[in-house]
């Protein structure tokens, strides 16, 4: 799915549309197994969201120790000079102390790789999935994320032809790639 901003990765919500409203009841349960998202995206985050009814695959892809990479496109509030970009990149690769937010206490992040596109746009790749992790990384660096979109999960890239708010089934080759990663790690 190319998740749209404003939707939550929950089966029920009082205030927002849920990503599950895009599926029919028959699609939500297949052969007795429930369809669920592989990890979550924040309500205001767009982009690549995977769904499966394969619990083992989902568990493998979301465990931090398996170091499955997730890449996000980020737009920042403040411009970042070339010197600051180098500092941001170096600090994020070493891991940062993330500021507390809502239900998450202050905590250490694993390293993340930043690739700069402009003075306020970059791509960041990480292997964890802590609560609001990308936003908290940039807050720890003294900036603010104003737009966030996941563009890659494991070896899968967001389908550029998939409109925001739409979904499609994975191809056989895409499924094989995900399952081969899982099989290598199990």
Structure tokens that stand for 148 in this block: 């966030």
| Active-site position among 14, 42, 44, 54 | 42
> Tokens at residue 4, please?
């749209």
Quick one: how far is CA 47 from the chain centroid? 8
Find out whether 35 and 22 touch, Cβ atoms under 8 Å.
Answer: no
d(CA 137, CA 133): 6
- Does residue 42 have an active-site annotation? yes
**How far is the C-alpha of 140 from the C-alpha of 149, rounded, in Å?**
19
Phi, psi of 113 (to 5 degrees): -105, 130
Report CA-CA distances (Å) from 105 to 75, 92, 112, 122, 180: 25, 19, 19, 26, 35
Neighbours of 103 (CB within 10 A): 7
The catalytic residues are 42
């Amino acid at each position: 799915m190319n998740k749209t901003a404003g939707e939550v990765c929950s089966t029920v919500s009082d205030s927002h549309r849920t990503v599950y409203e895009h599926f029919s009841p028959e699609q939500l349960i297949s052969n007795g197994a429930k369809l669920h998202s592989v990890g979550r995206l924040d309500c205001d985050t767009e982009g690549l969201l995977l769904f499966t009814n394969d619990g083992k695959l989902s568990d493998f892809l979301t465990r931090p120790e398996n170091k499955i990479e997730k890449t996000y496109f980020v737009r920042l509030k403040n411009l970042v000079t070339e010197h600051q970009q180098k500092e941001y990149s170096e600090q994020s690769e070493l891991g940062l102390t993330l500021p507390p937010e809502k239900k998450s206490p202050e905590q250490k992040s694993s390293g993340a790789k930043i690739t700069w596109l402009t003075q306020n746009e970059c791509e960041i790749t990480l292997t964890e999935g802590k609560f609001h992790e990308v936003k908290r990384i940039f807050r720890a660096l003294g900036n603010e994320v104003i737009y966030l979109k996941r563009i890659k999960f494991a070896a899968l890239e967001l389908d550029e032809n998939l409109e925001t708010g739409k979904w499609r089934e994975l191809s056989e080759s895409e499924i094989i790639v995900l399952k081969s990663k899982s099989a290598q790690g199990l």
